[in-house]
Amino acid sequence: MKDDKHCDVFGTPLKVGDYVIYAANLDRSAILKVAVILELRSIPKGWGTPPIAYKVSTRTAERSMTRDPKTREWDNYEWKLQKKGSPITLEFTERMVKVNPKVIPKALRDLLKEEP
């Protein structure tokens, strides 16, 4: 199948190696996650509209709050890979935004490139 329907919320085509930001929830809070696209797939559903499911495999990182051992405050933030860097399959490409890699800090881009 042709993968020309893998587009973000603004209709920008997605391809392997692109960086995306998408919304998720953590407990009862909305958060944003950053991911690099590893694979794009189109799978016939056999029912519904559209008749094709668009799936995206990503390596995803989320910003986690950590406790500072000296101050005992929960005000430190760090980026951590989800699922230890194993690929995560997402649907709903229309809920993602493709971003220029230059807006993502180099340390985070390097983290997302790490193989598990």
Instruction: Identify the bridge partners of residue 62 per DSSP, sorted by sequence position.
Output: 33, 80
Residue 105, judged by CB atoms within 10 A of its CB (0-12, 13-18, 19+), counts as exposed
User: Residue 3 above 50 pLDDT?
Assistant: no
Place of tokens 């500072």: 68
Dihedral angle of Cα 56, 52, 97, 59, to the nearest 10 degrees? -10
User: Bigger pLDDT: 23 or 70?
Assistant: 23
pLDDT tens-digit map of 15-67: 999 999 998 887 777 888 999 999 998 887 766 666 677 889 999 998 887 77
Q: What is the pLDDT of residue 116?
A: 66
- 79-102 residue pLDDT tens: 889 898 899 998 888 889 999 999
Beta-ladder partners of 34: 21, 61
Cβ pair 63, 46 in contact under 8 A = no
The model carries a pTM of 0.81
pLDDT band at 2 (very low <50, low <70, confident <90, very high): very low
- Residue with structure tokens 């209709």? 11
